[in-house]
A = this chain, B = another copy of it.
Amino acid sequence: MLRLPLRALALVLPVVSLLCFTSALSAEDGYELWLRYAPVTAAILRGNYLASVTGVRVEGTSETLRAAEYELKHGLAGLLGQALPPAGETLRDGLVIAGTKAGSPLVSGLGLDAELARAGDEGYVLRAMPVRGHRAIVIAANSDVGVLYGAFALLERIATNQRLDALSVVSAPRLRYRLLDHWDNLNRTIERGYAGFSLWDWQKLPDYLDPRYRDYARANASIGINGSVITSVNANATSLTAPWLAKAAALAKVFRPYGIRVYLTARFSAPIEIGGLKTADPLDPEVAAWWKRKVDEIYRFIPDFGGFLVKANSEGQPGPQDYKRSHADGANVLADALAPHGGIVMWRAFVYSNEAPDDRARQAYNEFKPLDGAFRKNVMVQVKNGPIDFQPREPFHPLFGAMPKTPLMMEFQITQEYLGFATHLVYLAPLFEEALEADTWAKGKGSTVAKVIEGGVDPYALTGMAGVSNIGTDRNWCGSVFACANWYAFGRLAWDPELGSDAIADAWIRQTFTSAPAFVEPVKKMMLGSREAAVDYMTPLGLHHQMARNHHYGPGPWVSGGPRADWTSPYYHRADKNGIGFDRSATGSNAVGQYFPEVAARFGSLDKVPEEYLLWFHHVPWDHRMRSGRTLWDELLMRYQAGVDAVRRMQATWAGLSGFVDPERYEQVRAFLAIQEQEARWWRDACVLYFQTFSGRPVPPGYEKPEHDLEYYEKLDHRYAPGI
């Protein structure tokens, strides 16, 4: 829908018929994300806000503080339905007063020292309190970016319809590095991108700064994200050449006021490819000198450059092992170059070798555990939540808790590579939460993964969480309205890994749509159940990596052959006429042996293993009796069907909510749920027909008949599926 410009409205205000005229044109396209600042509609609450907030006074003039002021003024004007008069020089009741202890005598005189001490470098204090005899809402922090975070927090409170009367909050991030990883290529394609193409319009950089870059930074700052790795982990050395550094620097300049640092991926062979050296051996002094010069050059372009993310000796990428050096040797040569500037290395633990015949689930641990303590102080090892690769469900990665001397950074995937792409509504906070809550038992009960990455189990000097971005050029940023909830949830959990999925969904729904309980509650229920639905219709009971080859779009349990055994489905499902599942128990690959004993005992026992991990850890006979009393075969089919049924319930829920949502977003969600239902059936039918060739067991009565035969599903060809 082409929108009439807002400017047009300014000229037609006197006209009586305006109301119906504007409402007919109020198309929403999702661009505003959770920053819609839609007017508070509940009259009592709006009255309360109007009384509480009469103006904005930001103490200071830095770019970050001006960003905070912009956000407060425009956000409040939207939420309250009216622009606020200028704050002026003298205090009055109802001002929002924002500033830092160091930058504002007014703020430093408020007696908030204890609270500010708890807020730390990046946190904030929000407090309704008298200031020199006037009612005020104070946003205080130790840094300008803390003020900005506080401003967003205040706006969120209003947008989610919380009262401000007794406002008293101190919030500080539990992790220092809260990063989005963009797998964006220099030609703007995105590996595993389902929301169009890369936001970075390299051709027009550094000369033209798309206004969208700033909105990207605003959205990230609003959820506490403080870094962006703008290039793909399958790195291209060209991105480290001067013309491209100038482009990265232009983005860094836009992001800087929002507290977001730019990071780059470093291709390990760059010294050869763009440096003209004969080797990239990390112990070669020329190589070390080259990296030092290159890093110095980067800091001339980007004085607050964050550092490097590196994928090395993984899936064909070059790395230190090409020279018989260790991952620590590789990371350290980069770390030494970055250290004088305060930059860090994030070295990915996602490595596996086809030559080594060991279970792929064991390989990262095998490689990295022996290197504990061998990394420089400014290195973090970045570990995926599970030991394989961002599956709908995985047990937590055994490295968590196993490297007491090496800071481990969590890597989640926000983009839905294995979760139906953008058209499947899968709210990922429960997946993230499940991983973070998992107990490693590293130092006894309560040694959760969250505590490990926070440095609460072993004291880590660095802490962090990375999310593989789902952002692209699509107008709604993430390819679908609901996929944006995953970006939001990631940011929230990176700030506080112990937050709950429910509270995050609640806040996102209210800001993105409405606070009407008749909408919030059913939508929240739908979101909270959606990840389990996807597990059920794709890979129930611990199955994993059953997706089609390369693009991973749709089912491919039959996928075999090709360059690597562990890129095939049978490697993971191991179905035969006796049963199904990967024996990783002590009598199998013994992947369970990489966990601490309490965990190993539970996962390794067919009796004790949680059924959601059953086929991850065990090869189980088709007639194995499940806790439900059903056989494994019947239970498996029941799960596939349950996944389809759950999507149908989501459709029914959404169908009842059209009155609460603008037609554009309503229709997009409706259409995508229809695709999801269709594809859930595709998954169910393709997998059941395929596994039936092994089990030889009948489909229980009442089960929906597959639409096509197995051959039909095997022949489907989606070669232009996005993301590769």
Contacts and interface: CB of A to CB of B under 8 A. Distances in A.
A11 interface: yes
Nearest to A724: B187
Contact of A11 (B41, B186, B187, B189): B41
Nearest to A21: B83
Given A15-B81, A21-B83, A187-B720, A6 B6 contact: yes
B473 A197 contact: yes
Contacts of A422: 204
A7 B21 contact: no
Contacts of A21: 77, 82-83
A226 interface: no
Interface string A1-34: 1111111111111010111111111111101110
Nearest to A723: B203
A74 interface: yes
Contacts of A3: 6, 31-32
A8 B81 contact: yes
A470 to B, nearest CB: 14
Interface string A104-148: 000000000000000000000000000000000000000000000
Interface centre among A2, A13, A74, A85 (most CB of B within 10 A): A2
Contacts of A35: 2
Nearest to A78: B4
Nearest to A27: B211
A38 B208 contact: no
A721 interface: yes
How many copies the complex holds: the figure is 2
A693 interface: no
A203 B6 contact: no
A17 B85 contact: yes
A441 interface: no
A694 to B, nearest CB: 29
Give 7 closest A-B pairs by Cβ, nearest first: A21-B83, A7-B26, A12-B81, A15-B82, A208-B671, A6-B26, A17-B83
9 contacts: A2-B218, A3-B32, A6-B25, A7-B662, A13-B18, A188-B197, A188-B722, A197-B473, A473-B473
Given A2-B35, A13-B19, 12 more contacts: A2-B218, A4-B6, A10-B26, A17-B83, A18-B83, A21-B77, A196-B473, A197-B473, A204-B675, A208-B423, A208-B672, A238-B719
Interface of A: 1-13, 15, 17-29, 31-33, 35-39, 41, 74, 77-78, 81-83, 85, 186-189, 194, 196-197, 202-204, 207-209, 211-212, 214-215, 218, 238, 421-423, 473, 475, 662, 664, 668, 671-672, 674-675, 678, 719-722
